[in-house]
Amino acid sequence: MEFFEAVGALGVGQVILLLVALLIAFGFEVINGFHDTANAVATVIYTKSMKPTPAVVWSGLWNFIGVHAGGIGVAFSIVHLLPVDLLVNIKSGRGLAMVLSLLGAAIIWNFATWYRGLPASSSHSLIGSIMGVGMMNAWLEQGSIFQGINWHKAAEVGVALLLSPVIGFGLAAVLLIVAKRLIPARELYEPPHGDRPPPWWIRALLIGTCTGVSFAHGSNDGQKGMGLIMLVLIGIVPAAYSLDMGSSSQDITATVEAARQLEQELAEPQLAMMMTALKDQHLANSRVERIARRDGVAAAAVLESELVEKVFDPYPGNDVVLATLDPLPLCRDVLATLDGRTSFADLDADDRWKLRTQLVELGASVRTLLRQFGDTLAEDRRKVLKSLAGQLAKPVEYVPEWVVMGVALCLGLGTMFGWERIVVTVGEKIGKTHLTYAQGGAAELVAASTIAMADSLGMPVSTTHVLSSGVAGTMWANRSGIQPETVREIALAWILTLPVAMALSSALYWLATFATG
């Protein structure tokens, strides 16, 4: 209901822009469905545990359920890869161009790899696209590509994505070897015979693991587009979506109390000194970058050596970053904005946007503090700061139920179309022999467990990488042999995904900014 009310207040041009943007965003989820979820049904189809049509419908249903049960931790883990100044200025034309460019690049690469039948990672393509637009934006704004990415968050996500195929290969191989020793059921380690389904208990195991992977995929991958859809809504309809308008008076009171407590924490001498050091470092780095652009790298190197001795003239840095490094005024601004308020509806559109900006910058401030000095803080203080940051994020890091429902439907429907290309690759072309029941069960069980664990930690992992590498691991453990040509092609697609997505999104974003002036 609130969506239609918000759209009713827009002009015709804005409505068209919103509909096109949402079509692109939800289109990414449809492609994600038939691109990634094919991995979940490959084993049950090739072990004859389920017919193809019931298998993809079943998988689509559990993807739908997984999206609803998954929460939003992964959604905003993806959003936090973007630089904080983009999150603050998302309603600018350039902010929307960035979101649409990164989604467009991810869609192009996912569709291309699906067309080739390659199980490449939708997660890698999305994250590569985010990095590409962030770096291009930094280059256009500052002449330096390195300020356009939240590198700490990118490293966290990168580690999760790089480890997932290693874990998938290793654990699936170990699980198969252990199963052979502990479960002496000969039929478990044989390929299917014709079209005859496996014994009921094996069939139940394989359907159960397929269900687990589908649910885990929905709960993890389903979230990845949610945060970006929210950026589209916030950018085009900020009055309705910049804050969670469904927040109760108790929620607002909790936000006020968190801001007040954070103000007290940040006023402590230890934390105040840390924030001053971070601000000085940012100003110093800004001056080095300015000199590098104006006088060359050698001159910047000389200046940088001087800055080690703290001999420098302050140079204005990024305004948004500077705001995050001076959080006490932000706490006071939040308290002033919410003074006497019992509902966000009491704020006009400008004040809602102002409050969102303050809360986003406060969250970035605490994350920066914990990242740089977390090891030197007492455990109790770290926990308090994390808790306060989480409470302050609630009004701005939320997803309306209709967005969750839309993503769930798109992911579920996408599962039911176009699955066959990648299923053939996973089921027939990775190993030299037909997939056995035990191999399918081991690969699916490891994939479901790994994705569920990552989901609980709010980290994005690749369903494609975990399950495909799990199948390869079972082939290796079974001494079945691996088809080197297929594995090379898959590995090449995995290696190319990140740089190609970065290049595509950078190019699309540059074209968008060039076209709009």
23-69 pLDDT, tens digit per residue, is: 998 998 888 877 766 677 877 887 788 888 888 888 888 888 888 88
Q: Residue 198: its pLDDT value, please? A: 80
d(CA 183, CA 249): 57
Q: Residue 490: its pLDDT value, please? A: 72
User: Which of 72, 395, 48 is CA-nearest to residue 254?
Assistant: 395
d(CA 25, CA 230): 10
Give CA separation, 195 vs 45, 200, 431, 466, in Å: 10, 15, 20, 28
Query: Using one digit for the tens of pLDDT, what is the confidence trace for 254-272?
Result: 999 999 998 888 888 877 7
Q: Is the pLDDT at 107 greater than 80, yes or no?
A: yes
Token couple for 321: 């970053």
Token couple for 315: 């140079």
Q: Which residue has the higher pLDDT, 300 or 389?
A: 389
Average of pLDDT values for 206-211? 85
d(CA 199, CA 461): 33
Q: What is the mean pLDDT of the chain?
A: 78
Give the chain's end-to-end CA distance (angstroms, integer): 36
Secondary structure of 247-315 in the HEC alphabet?
A: CCHHHHHHHHHHHHHHHHHHCCHHHHHHHHHHHHHHHHHHHHHHHHHHHCHHHHHHHHHHHHCCCCCCC
Average of pLDDT values for 369-387? 83
Average of pLDDT values for 89-114? 84
Query: If you write DSSP's letter for every residue of 379-398 in order, what string do you get?
Result: HHHHHHHHHHHHHHHTTTS-
Q: Residue 163: its pLDDT value, please? A: 76
- Helical H segments across 319-461, by residue range: 319-324, 327-337, 349-373, 379-393, 401-415, 420-424, 437-456
Average of pLDDT values for 127-138? 85
CB burial string 225-260: b at 16+ within 10 A, e below: bbbbbbbbbbbbbbbbbbbbbebeeebbebbbebbe
Q: Do residues 467 and 447 make contact, with C-beta atoms less than 8 angstroms apart? A: yes
Q: Residue 302: its pLDDT value, please? A: 42
d(CA 187, CA 477): 17
Q: Residue 168: its pLDDT value, please? A: 84
Q: Residue 452: its pLDDT value, please? A: 75
The confidence band for 322, taking pLDDT boundaries of 50, 70 and 90, is low
Q: Is the pLDDT at 144 greater than 90, yes or no?
A: no
Token couple for 232: 């589209």
d(CA 112, CA 114): 5
CB burial string 371-387: b at 16+ within 10 A, e below: eebeeebeeebbeebee
Token couple for 11: 């002009």
pTM: 0.77
The confidence band for 316, taking pLDDT boundaries of 50, 70 and 90, is very low
Q: Residue 355: its pLDDT value, please? A: 93
The confidence band for 274, taking pLDDT boundaries of 50, 70 and 90, is confident
Exposed, middle or buried, 53 (CB in 10 Å: 0-12/13-18/19+)? exposed
Average of pLDDT values for 287-315? 45
Q: Residue 289: its pLDDT value, please? A: 55
Q: Is the pLDDT at 321 greater than 70, yes or no?
A: no
Residue 51: CA count within 13 A, CB half-sphere: 2
d(CA 446, CA 213): 9
Q: Residue 320: its pLDDT value, please? A: 54
